[in-house]
Amino acid sequence: MRDKFHFENAKRGQVVPQKGKTRITIYLDTDIVEAFRDRSDKAGYGYQTMINQALREYLDKNEKPLSEASIRQVVREELDRAGAAP
């Protein structure tokens, strides 16, 4: 190891920058965080990753417009329930 290190031009920052990620501070209920930590221990990856995935799934389910195919499927199912043949 060197006897002297020069830190005059050093900059404080992340060791490994994360592309596409933003660090935030957020308050969540303790039981929610504990539940994600328990699940993440079983799954083998981080609880923050699981929270991110859950938020993404929620947004995907609630933001996608209905496609023609999904509308047709719902109509077919409802007609079948009503006893009418298409």
| pLDDT (average), residues 7-28 | 81
**Mean predicted confidence (pLDDT) in 17-34:** 88
Does the reported pTM lie above 0.75?
Answer: no
Return the higher-pLDDT residue of 21 and 3.
21
Q: What is the mean pLDDT of residues 25-47?
A: 93
The reply to whether 59 falls in a domain is yes
pLDDT for res 71: 85
Is residue 36 included in any domain, yes or no? yes
CB atoms closer than 10 angstroms to residue 18 = 8
Asked whether residue 77 is assigned to any structural domain, the reply reads yes
Number of domains in the chain: 1
- Compute the distance between CA of residue 75 and CA of residue 28 in angstroms, rounded to an integer: 40
Flag whether 13 is in a domain.
no
DSSP labels for 5-56? ---TT-----SS--TT---------HHHHHHHHHHHHHHTS-HHHHHHHHHH
